């Protein structure tokens, strides 16, 4: 299983004082049950926004818990999405990453990005699912269900 992490919540996963849902997401990654997928501008944003991510990423990549997609492919797809203009958020690079990687689980608290990620015209086969702590920072049944799904990314991730 794998997921994409929006930079707006990196501190909730890699910072100190994580909420319960952020802590469980971090444990899921560190236990090898999940793999974080990033690339292009998403990787740059994570590196800038979170020292904790930068430190974690070095070992995680070696251990296979972090997959970095080809930045050129992600950037090309981002440009195509911008030309099409069918999204509401300010994060076409996250949508492009999902399209290129075929990862369908996103941790974000950005409401517009959540809507875009659930849009069948942007993310499909399967539809995108969002792990969010915007409303509830506790580890809910929904969070647990999302982290146990095995159909939200390509097998080779």
The candidate with the shortest Cα–Cα distance to 147, out of 136, 135, 131, is: 131
The rounded distance, in Å, linking the Cα atoms of 12 and 18 is: 5
Residues of the chain below pLDDT 70: 155-157
- Please give the pLDDT value at position 154: 80
Q: Could you identify the residue written with the tokens 């707006």?
A: 8
- Please give the pLDDT value at position 156: 63
> 3-state DSSP call for residue 96?
helix
């Amino acid at each position: 299983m794998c997921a994409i992490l929006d930079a707006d919540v990196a501190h909730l996963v890699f910072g100190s004082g994580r909420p319960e849902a952020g802590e469980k997401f971090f444990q899921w990654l560190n236990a090898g049950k999940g793999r974080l997928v990033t690339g292009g501008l998403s990787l740059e944003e994570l590196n800038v926004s979170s020292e904790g991510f930068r430190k974690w990423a070095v070992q995680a990549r070696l251990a296979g818990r972090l997959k970095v997609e080809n930045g050129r492919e992600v950037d090309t797809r981002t440009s195509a999405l911008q030309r099409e203009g069918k999204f509401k958020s300010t994060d076409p690079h996250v949508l492009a990453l999902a399209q290129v990687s075929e990862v369908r689980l996103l941790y974000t608290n950005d409401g517009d990005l959540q809507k875009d990620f659930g849009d069948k015209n942007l993310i499909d086969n399967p539809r995108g699912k969002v792990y969010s702590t915007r409303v509830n920072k506790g580890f809910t049944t929904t969070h647990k269900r999302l982290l146990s799904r095995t159909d939200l990314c390509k097998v080779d991730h």
